[in-house]
Amino acid sequence: MINKENYTVEILFPERQIQKRIFAISSQISKDYENKDLVVVAVLNGSFIFCADLVRNLDVRCAIDFIRVSSYSGGQSSGRVKVISDFKEESRGKDVLIVEDIADSGVTLDFLIGKISANKPKSIKTCVFLDKKCARQKDVPIDYSCFEIGNDFIVGYGLDYSGFFRQLPYVGRIKEFNK
Ligand code: IMP
Ligand code: MG
């Protein structure tokens, strides 16, 4: 059972630190995409909060669309990626930036890069909120990342445990103390 009494979240990155880092990453992206044809593809569900903060700090023109995929159930990877709802924005000849909550095994990003490349975009880059480098199974390029983390299961700021904890304005490690 998931409820407040059973779990505590040990804060890893507080809200202010996250916002500061996002401002820096957004500024870099704005520089890199000046006079380009940017299409942001946010990967749902996990990136909804990160992407919303990121794009609100961008000062370049961009189209924003969403792709909904699933690869995890509960705390465990199934190793397979399923597209539940595809994005509709034209990506051919455009500069696509995939925005993801976390690069863990890399399976999701590897799949998405392959899928979007087939549409022949002009360029394709990745932007992740968290980079769990030590858990990587697929060698995927990460072009922008806010924070690198260790091999812990993280919740908050869009990241969930079984659908919960996404709304936390900070990220942290989950601690279960009373089943
Ligand atoms: P992948 O293993 O890189 O394919 O990551 C797949 C997805 O698993 C991510 O988009 C996240 O939604 C989810 N995920 C991976 N690690 C964590 C975590 O520590 N907390 C919450 N979700 C995670
Ligand atoms: Mg998830």
Categorize the per-residue pLDDT at 57 as very low, low, confident or very high, splitting at 50, 70 and 90.
Answer: very high
5, 26, 140, 161 from 79: Cα distances, Å:
32, 30, 15, 17
pTM for the full predicted model: 0.94
DSSP letter at 99? Answer: E
Q: Whose CA is nearest to atom 22 of ligand 1?
A: 159
Q: Name the active-site residue from 95, 101, 104, 110.
A: 104
Model pLDDT for residues 63-121, shown as the tens digit of each residue: 999 999 987 555 555 578 999 999 999 999 999 999 999 999 999 999 999 999 999 99
Active site residue 104: yes
Q: Would you list the domain boundaries of the chain?
A: 14-151
Backbone angles phi, psi at 127, to 5 degrees: -135, 120
Residues with CB under 5 A from ligand 2 (ion): 46
Contacts of residue 124, Cβ cutoff 8 Å, sequence gap at least 6: 95, 96, 97, 98, 113, 116, 117
- 14-151 has which CATH code? 3.40.50.2020
